[in-house]
Amino acid sequence: MPVAHVKAGSAAGKRKAIRIGPARRIAEELRAQNERFSAAVENMSHGLCMFDAEERMIICNRNYIDLFRLDAKVMKPGIRFFDILQHSVDIGIASQSAEELYAVRKPYIDGAKPSTYEETLADGRIIVISHRPLTSGGWVSIYEDVTEQRRAEEELKEQHRRFDAALGNMSQGLLMYDADGKMIVRNQRFLELYKVTAADFPFGTTHRDALERLLELGIYTKIDVDSEVAKTEACLRAGKMQSTYRYLADGRTFLVVRQPTSGGWVVTFDDVTEQHRTEERMTHLAHHDTLTNLPNRSMFRERLDQALGEPKVAPLAILSLDLDRFKAVNDTFGHPAGDWLLKCVAERLRRCLRSEKDVAARFGGDEFAVIQSDVRGAADAEKLAKRIVEVIGKPYRDKGREMHVGVSLGIALYPGDGEDADTLLTNADLALYRGKSEGRNIYRFFEPGMDAMVRERRALEADLEAALPRREFELDYQPILDIASGDIVGAEALMRWRSPSRGLVSPQEFIAAAEETGLIVQLGDWALRKACSAAAGWPRDVRMAVNVSAAQIKSGSFARSVISALAFSSLPASRLELEITETVMMDESDTVLRTLGQLRELGVRIALDDFGTGYSSLGYLRRFPVDKIKIDRSFIHDLDKRDTAAVVRTVIGLGIELGITVTAEGVETEAQLDMLRKAGCGEAQGFLIGMPAKAPEMSRLLRSREKLRQSG
């Protein structure tokens, strides 16, 4: 303080210090207070402006100037309040005129009462103004920008509105529990799903109370409430979501999901009855054949892997099944009938099983498979195989039609024939393949070396496919005798395959393979054209007989192939004889009917080959009039037997009665020929009549016979 520097010996100095010291202290204190006030005002988070009774500004802080974007040079103490308003209008911050703004504030100024009101600026900001009158006149105003606060409040309101709307429109039921485990939120959908009232589940209900109430109302079937509560609490402690299916007494299924939150948990309830049923159906469809409802290949493999994965695997057998003659039935009666037959086969196969552990499956088409469990040796598997052959082989009758199929089986035994699923299935297929190659309606056990036969068949198919472009096929011609006149009236074209690596391959070896691979259509077309060209050079009364497969007839283009072959060779249609089997005759499809009709209109003759070895229904002859019946060589071979001779005479008599030529195949002795002559048979062919020969040899034979006839 300055007082400390006055000399002690000076009385005047002492008096001066006493006079000046308090005033300076007051001034210093006032200055310090002003500095503190200014600092406080400048550091306020809000804007502040003070006016005297004359409405002149005493002081304002920087926040006030910044809040209203005012010019600091203008905002000097003493400026009138109205001028400030005008300044705000001039700079574009105010949304009204200075007069309008002043008119709004004047009541607050005159009222001399504390008040708070809002003002929205031109830029959209919202300012809250707190008006406080001063006792000496004038007032002080505090200004706060609440734009973000208002926006947050609106957003919160919107969130609440959306939350309420979401709760009200959810497809799921919802309950929310607080940290004390009491229900604090419940939507209407929950009440609707469970068909209960709000009174049944008031706010404050605990999880345990809710479960017990649902049991009490008979909505849930019996559940362990203590266990359910304990599981839920454990999941919540672990912070994990919990989901479970609830099965209601009325048959519905709910998916209940509990999700922990920061202060409790939320539970949702979803009616998944249809979805659950659909999933069950989809799961069933994924593992079962849609036609027969038997397990499919996938399910079969799963059950086989499961059986082989047991700690102690019991002996078992794998049976691979393939229907015999199913294709003929399917082609004859149509696919709907074929589907009906497959369902019947599946049901019969299911009845053949002896244990619930046994599995019958359909792999597709006419392929089936069986797992026979607890097999006590090959005898058990053989017993089942015999039963299946017997049961499946019985006739099937539907809508007055009788259908016949057989079944071939291949059997592999665990563990002798394989210790894994792939090996067992492969070996069962190999045994099946062997059985089908040896005949039909039989079963075969797997034997080592069977795979060599499969490799040979595949090699045969590969060579067969390459043989046609390499011109390895030939035709031989076997003469046909008119028994009464002794003249050669025709010849049958017989296909031969002369392979460079295999030598001469008989039709019995390659025709079946050609039919399975589809190559028979190309081979048949080639043979037809070749045979017609050869016959064109023969005497005009000699016919050419050509065998036709069912695949050719059903191809849809066979009639065009015949027309093309006749046109190319200039052979009259009346001299062409097409030999078809009863398999074709059985087929009543539009394609077959149309094709046979077109051929007859052309004048081509139709012969029914191998009569008596297939289904031999006289109805075929009524629906498809043929020109010729050919008695199979097996009947002629046993012609010395009384029963066989009676059958042959009956067929010949039938032909005579219907006006159909009858040709006997496989005639090898004079005795056979003489008996056929006496029975009235029209034609014969076989080694006695003539051996199959090449086209030039056949031409020489026919010319020589014609010369003898002319000379006679």
Secondary structure of 105-120 in the HEC alphabet? HHHHHHHCCCEEEEEE
**What is the rounded distance in angstroms from the CA atom of residue 432 to the CA atom of residue 637?**
31
- State the pLDDT at residue 332: 73
Selected residue with higher pLDDT from 649 and 550: 649
Q: Is 162 exposed, middle or buried (0-12, 13-18, 19+ CB in 10 A)?
A: exposed
Q: Which residues neighbour 450 within 8 Å (Cβ) at sequence distance 6 or greater?
A: 427, 430, 431, 433, 434
In order of 380, 486, 547, 549, 566, the CA distances from 521 in angstroms are 44, 35, 12, 8, 17
**What is the rounded distance in angstroms from the CA atom of residue 531 to the CA atom of residue 548?**
12
At 479, the pLDDT band (50, 70, 90 cuts) reads very high
Other C-beta atoms within 10 Å of 95: how many?
A: 15
Cα–Cα nearest to 385, from 403, 400, 368, 404: 368
**What is the rounded distance in angstroms from the CA atom of residue 108 to the CA atom of residue 117?**
9
Alpha helices (H) along 603-694: 618-623, 633-637, 642-658, 670-679
- State the pLDDT at residue 17: 46
- For residue 574, the SS3 value is helix
Q: How would you classify the pairing of strands 406-414 and 396-398?
A: unpaired
Other C-beta atoms within 10 Å of 45: how many?
A: 7
Cα–Cα nearest to 701, from 475, 481, 474: 481
At 548, the pLDDT band (50, 70, 90 cuts) reads very high
**What is the rounded distance in angstroms from the CA atom of residue 614 to the CA atom of residue 631?**
12
- State the pLDDT at residue 538: 93
- For residue 455, the SS3 value is helix
DSSP assignment letter at 248: B
491 pairs with which residues across the strands? 479, 544
**Phi and psi dihedrals of 504, rounded to 5?**
-80, 115
Cα–Cα nearest to 364, from 412, 307, 321, 329: 321
683 pairs with which residues across the strands? 482, 663
Whether 641 and 634 have beta carbons less than 8 Å apart is answered as no
pLDDT surpassing 70 at residue 53? yes
Cα–Cα nearest to 589, from 333, 399, 326: 333
Cα radius of gyration rounded to whole Å, the chain:
53
Q: Which residues neighbour 53 within 8 Å (Cβ) at sequence distance 6 or greater?
A: 136, 137, 138
At 589, the pLDDT band (50, 70, 90 cuts) reads low
Q: What is the mean pLDDT of residues 153-167?
A: 75
**What is the rounded distance in angstroms from the CA atom of residue 635 to the CA atom of residue 526?**
31
Cis peptide before 415 (omega within 30 of 0): yes
Whether 436 and 454 have beta carbons less than 8 Å apart is answered as no
- State the pLDDT at residue 13: 47
Q: Which residue has the tokens 């009384």?
A: 642
**What share of the chain in percent tops pLDDT 70?**
92
Q: How does pLDDT run across 332-365, given as a tens digit for each residue?
A: 778 888 899 999 999 999 999 988 889 999 998 8
- State the pLDDT at residue 587: 59
Q: How does pLDDT run across 163-196, given as a tens digit for each residue?
A: 776 676 777 888 999 988 899 988 988 998 899 9
In degrees, rounded to 5, the angle at the alpha carbon of residue 682 between the alpha carbons of residues 676 and 683 is 85
In degrees, rounded to 5, the angle at the alpha carbon of residue 261 between the alpha carbons of residues 258 and 266 is 35
Q: Which residue has the tokens 């003002």?
A: 119
Here the tokens at position 384 are: 């089942």
pLDDT surpassing 90 at residue 626? no
Other C-beta atoms within 10 Å of 527: how many?
A: 22
Q: How does pLDDT run across 246-259, given as a tens digit for each residue?
A: 888 888 988 999 98
Average pLDDT along the chain? 86
**What is the rounded distance in angstroms from the CA atom of residue 393 to the CA atom of residue 406?**
5
Selected residue with higher pLDDT from 140 and 710: 140
At 282, the pLDDT band (50, 70, 90 cuts) reads confident
**What is the rounded distance in angstroms from the CA atom of residue 62 to the CA atom of residue 40?**
11
Here the tokens at position 191 are: 């009440």
Per DSSP, the residues of 193-232 read: HHT--GGGS-TT-BHHHHHHHHHHTT-B----HHHHHHHH
- State the pLDDT at residue 615: 47
Whether the model clears a pTM of 0.75, i.e. scores above it, the answer is: no
**What is the rounded distance in angstroms from the CA atom of residue 705 to the CA atom of residue 587?**
40
**How far is CA 148 from its chain centroid?**
54
Whether 585 and 608 have beta carbons less than 8 Å apart is answered as yes
Whether 417 and 309 have beta carbons less than 8 Å apart is answered as no
**What is the rounded distance in angstroms from the CA atom of residue 81 to the CA atom of residue 250?**
77
Q: How would you classify the pairing of strands 406-414 and 443-445?
A: parallel
Selected residue with higher pLDDT from 477 and 13: 477
The kind and range of the H/E element at 690 are: none
Other C-beta atoms within 10 Å of 152: how many?
A: 11
The kind and range of the H/E element at 49 are: strand 47-51
- For residue 388, the SS3 value is helix
Whether 418 and 427 have beta carbons less than 8 Å apart is answered as yes
At 586, the pLDDT band (50, 70, 90 cuts) reads low
pLDDT surpassing 80 at residue 12? no
Looking at residue 72, its amino acid is A
**What is the rounded distance in angstroms from the CA atom of residue 432 to the CA atom of residue 446?**
8
- For residue 377, the SS3 value is coil
**Per residue in 332-350, is it b (16+ CB within 10 Å) or e — as a string?**
bbeeebbebbbbbbbebbe
